[in-house]
């Protein structure tokens, strides 16, 4: 995680300083912003973004995730802001943007189990009775995601704004043991207890859809 974080910072700084500030000083009122995520509630997210042209920006994001898949995520992203007006820069305007993001995350999964037994038989789609789980312990996983998104940026005044964004995510995860299972009532409410890999992609950080709402301050 630390090597990835350092690499992201070096990349961010090298790209930013490869462009002269003279190219955007006459078109952008502000070139930087900081953001916090308002939703999803499972993640505490802080973002820094900097314009490198009037339409293109780079961002750095850190997220702390709670819930079943507790962990830390570091992301870098690039954005293209569609220019809706002829005056000023697109970075400082209300409008649509397109984003590509790379994320690396490390997660700790508590109460993963090596096996289980079901007490009663299946009735319809639901199991009657409780499960007995064996070999409970904490395990770890890491994941690399690529996300492509479209969003809308809306200003409240010249400094404060909101962002609404949705996108598609593709991830590759590695587990210490991908044969472990989780308690079914903590992830799903029907069917047998899910395999840890299934749960990660169906109800965790590997889920293929991403939706977010953020509030920001531009300076």
Q: What is the mean pLDDT of the chain?
A: 84
Element (H, E) at 139: strand 137-155
pLDDT value of position 184: 72
Question: What digits encode the pLDDT tens for the residues 71-118?
Answer: 999 999 999 998 766 566 789 889 999 999 999 999 999 989 999 887
Task: Supply the DSSP string of 40-101, one letter for each residue.
Answer: -TTEEEEEEEEESSSSEEEEEEEEEE-SSEEEEEEEEEEEEEPP-SSSS-GGGSSEEEEEEE
Nearest of 32, 40, 97 to residue 59 by alpha carbon: 32
pLDDT value of position 67: 85
Question: What digits encode the pLDDT tens for the residues 174-203?
Answer: 999 989 998 876 565 556 788 899 899 988
**CA atoms of 88 and 85, how far apart (whole Å):** 7
Kindly report which listed range (45-49, 80-84, 98-102, 119-123) carries the lowest average pLDDT score.
119-123
Give the CATH class of 2-218. Answer: mainly beta
**CA atoms of 206 and 178, how far apart (whole Å):** 14
pLDDT value of position 20: 47
pLDDT value of position 191: 65
**Length of the chain in terms of residues written:** 219
**What's the whole-number mean pLDDT along residues 12-22?**
51
pLDDT value of position 192: 76
pTM for the complete prediction?
0.83
Phi and psi at residue 13, to the nearest 5°: -65, -40
Local confidence band at 136 (pLDDT 50, 70, 90 cut-offs): very high
pLDDT at 126 over 60: no
Domain boundaries, the chain: 2-218
* C-alpha count within 13 angstroms, C-beta hemisphere, residue 54: 18
Please name the residue that has the structure tokens 């069917």.
Answer: 191
pLDDT value of position 68: 86
pLDDT at 15 over 90: no
**CA atoms of 72 and 69, how far apart (whole Å):** 10
Q: Are 164 and 150 in contact (CB under 8 A)?
A: no
């Amino acid at each position: 995680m630390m090597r990835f974080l350092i690499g992201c910072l070096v990349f961010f700084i090298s790209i930013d300083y490869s462009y002269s500030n003279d190219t955007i000083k006459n078109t952008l009122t502000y070139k930087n912003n900081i953001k916090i995520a308002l939703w999803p509630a499972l993640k505490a997210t802080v973002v820094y973004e900097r314009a490198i042209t009037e339409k293109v920006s780079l961002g750095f994001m850190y997220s702390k995730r709670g819930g079943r898949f507790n962990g830390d995520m570091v992301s870098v992203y690039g954005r293209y802001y569609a220019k809706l007006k002829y005056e000023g820069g697109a970075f400082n305007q209300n409008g649509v943007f397109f984003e590509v993001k790379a994320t690396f995350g490390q997660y700790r999964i508590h109460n993963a189990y090596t096996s289980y037994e079901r007490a009663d038989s299946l009735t319809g789609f639901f199991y009657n009775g409780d499960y007995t789980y064996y070999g409970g312990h904490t395990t770890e996983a890491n994941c690399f995601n690529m996300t492509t998104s479209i969003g809308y940026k809306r200003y409240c005044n010249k400094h404060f704004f909101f962002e609404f964004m949705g996108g598609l995510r593709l991830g590759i995860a590695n587990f210490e043991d991908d044969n472990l299972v989780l308690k079914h009532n903590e992830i799903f409410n029907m069917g047998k207890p899910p395999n840890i890999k299934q749960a990660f992609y169906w109800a965790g950080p590997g889920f293929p859809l991403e939706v977010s709402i953020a509030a920001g301050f531009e300076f």
